[in-house]
Amino acid sequence: MSTIILRYSDTPLTSLTFSGTATEQYEFDPAINLPPVPVQELVQGKLLSGRRYSHILYTHLLFDFTISADELSDVIDITDTPDVMPASKAFIRDFILAKYKYISYPAGSNYIEVIKEGNGIEVTYIEDYIYLPEFRLQLITASPVDPTTLTNLALKPISMV
Amino acid sequence: MNMYFGKIEGNVHVIPFMALYMFYNSDFTAFSNIEAESSYRYSPITRPNSKGGQRFIGYRVEIKTYVPHTAYIDETAYGESMLERLNTLVQNRHDVQLLLGKRVNTLPAEHRGDSSNATEGLWVEFHRLLRMTYEIESVPFKPRLIITHSGIVPKINMS
């Protein structure tokens, strides 16, 4: 399994258990799907004795993937005009704009609440052609990650999870 | 269903590029009896993925149609010249069809050209997805028109 599922909601989910029947979710097979990276916040300093210390306050996981045009242009058909926005692309737009974001990584796993890193939307267009977009999404866990999840996900390619 | 493509006899056909059809604003423009250099090409667009492979994105299309006709400014037949029509097509997205080999040909008999020795036929269709340019170059004794269509399409469409 190398796909992920993104889900969004206007209100916090009451349960993070995966639901295959949820409507506001979409399964993607990103062209670039990097192993999640642990991101730590530390308190560091030096004692009077000269000993250095580094306390881990929180550890989050950073998901970094790129959904390419092959996943976003599915309704551009020879019989359609390319002015119709594909459902997958419309979902990405709604996901980015939604208040609460979740990822099921890999697809079918329980949801993890995430927030988007940075303010902008990283979208590029292959060959500068507006119907071949690529979205790079960097999502970081909203809450600190427990040690079990860290062991299961951190730095593991999605196929090993 | 299993598919086998091994038998040669009866399965390798002569399908030359015979004519270029363009439709815009309910007007039809066709170039037949085109030169043998005329060609079309679908090249896949791919991008590397994180598994060391390539992800297929779509096809880049380029069609070059070499036209021997030199009636560029004559308006007597249609009330507008070939150059005026080409300029309209350059500025507007339009439907494009290529006639390959022998297919039911919608052109008047005197414009169909020789059917050559084609043994099979295909239509290649593009729905408003290509942009067009044209150029005129000099070859010995006369000018020659080259119509180029290019663009990106999600899949190859033949009928």
B82-103: pLDDT as tens digits: 999 999 999 998 999 999 998 8
Of A33, A34, A69, the CB nearest to B57: A69
Burial class (CB in 10 A: 0-12, 13-18, 19+), A6: buried
pLDDT in tens, B108-138: 888 887 767 888 999 999 888 889 999 999 9
Question: Beta-strand (E) ranges in A2-69?
Answer: 4-9, 25-28, 32-46, 52-67
Query: Which pLDDT band holds residue A79 (cuts at 50, 70, 90)?
Result: very low
B129·A82 Cβ contact <8 A: yes
pLDDT at B55 over 80: yes
Looking at CA atoms only, how far is residue A43 from chain B in angstroms? 34
Phi, psi (rounded to 5 degrees) for A110: -60, 150
* 3-state secondary structure (DSSP) of residue B71: coil
Please enumerate in sequence order all residues whose Cβ is within 8 A of that of B51, keeping only pairs 6 or more positions apart, or say none.
A2
- How far is it, in rounded angstroms, from Cα A107 to Cα A93? 20
Q: Chain B: give the shortest CA distance to residue A44, in Å.
A: 35
Contacts of B58 in chain A (CB under 8 A): 69-70, 73, 132
Peptide bond into A144 cis (omega under 30): no
ipTM for this model:
0.79
Q: Do B154 and A76 touch (CB under 8 A)?
A: yes
Name the residue in chain B with its Cα closest to that of A68.
B57
Contact residues on chain B for A32, CB-CB shorter than 8 A: 49-50
Which residues in chain A have Cβ-Cβ distances shorter than 8 Å to B49?
A: 31-32, 68
What does the pLDDT read at residue A78? 41
Highest mean pLDDT of the ranges A45-49, A121-125, B57-61? A45-49
B contacts of A70 (beta carbons < 8 Å)? 55-58
Please tell me the predicted confidence (pLDDT) of residue A1: 65
* Angle (CA) A75 A77 A82, round 5°: 75
Q: Please, which residues bridge with residue B29 across strands?
A: B22
Nearest CA in chain B to A77: B154
DSSP letter (8 states) at residue A98? S
- CA distance, residue A86 to nearest chain B CA (Å): 13
- Residue A22, class by beta-carbon neighbours within 10 Å (0-12 exposed, 13-18 middle, 19+ buried)? middle
The number of angstroms, rounded, from the C-alpha of B119 to the middle of its chain's C-alpha atoms is 19
**Which pLDDT band, with edges at 50, 70 and 90, does A50 fall under?**
very high
Q: What is the mean pLDDT of chain A?
A: 90
Of B59, B63, B17, B20, which Cα lies nearest the Cα of B156?
B59
Q: Do A76 and B45 touch (CB under 8 A)?
A: no
Do the chains contact at B152 and A70, CB–CB below 8 Å?
no
A133-141 vs A122-125, strand pairing mode = antiparallel
Position A140 pLDDT exceeds 80:
yes
Chain B, 99-138: which have a CB under 8 Å from a chain A CB?
125-129
